[in-house]
Chains A and B, each alone.
Chain A
């Protein structure tokens, strides 16, 4: 089945220790998104790629970076995680912009000690 895969599902890191989360998709979609979702809150868009064109939300902290080396893979790098970065990180894809449904991965739950 075509799908969105995220690894790892659970990640524990220490305060200030860089961490990388990965996402892959078999849907061959043009757009890949990264969302942050804190407990009992709505998903918040961090940034997205249309193919290799990167688009950053204005309020996304510089601490968060992303890479998309090819159509299938996208990475979220948190350079110096703080306690406030503990959250579920969701990767999503859509075929294109416009009224396209987004397909979400299962998420990576990040714990910062």
Chain B
């Protein structure tokens, strides 16, 4: 089967750094993505790692270790607007043979003043 595990909730203060971990077990693997979703809103793409290592996009960085089936999202200089749910998602080969996104359980980030 497929499973992606994330912490259910993380709290931090403005200006801090927070790391959200994701461990996965999938039958196939074609990369790890991260999506942000505010309450009542749509998921929006943050980053993608196809190979091991660190990808940086502004205040956000994402890391992947394929040998450890592990990745994380690093958020720096936290702002109140970063309060949202964060989902890791693995590209896996579905039952029809195409690559599909399988989402993790989601991590709710609460940023306080």
Contacts and interface: CB of A to CB of B under 8 A. Distances in A.
Interface in B49-102: 50, 87, 91, 94-96, 98-102
Interface string B6-50: 000000000000000000000000110100000001111100101
A104 interface: yes
Interface residues of B, number: 24
Contacts of A42: 87, 103-106
Chain A contact surface mostly? loop
Contact of B42 (A40, A44, A104): A104
Contacts of B91: 98-99
B30 A40 contact: no
Interface stretch (A14-22, A50-58, A75-83): A50-58
B103 A57 contact: no
Nearest to B105: A42
20 contacts: A40-B106, A41-B105, A41-B106, A42-B104, A42-B106, A43-B103, A45-B94, A45-B102, A48-B98, A48-B100, A55-B94, A55-B98, A58-B95, A97-B98, A99-B48, A99-B91, A102-B45, A102-B101, A105-B42, A107-B41
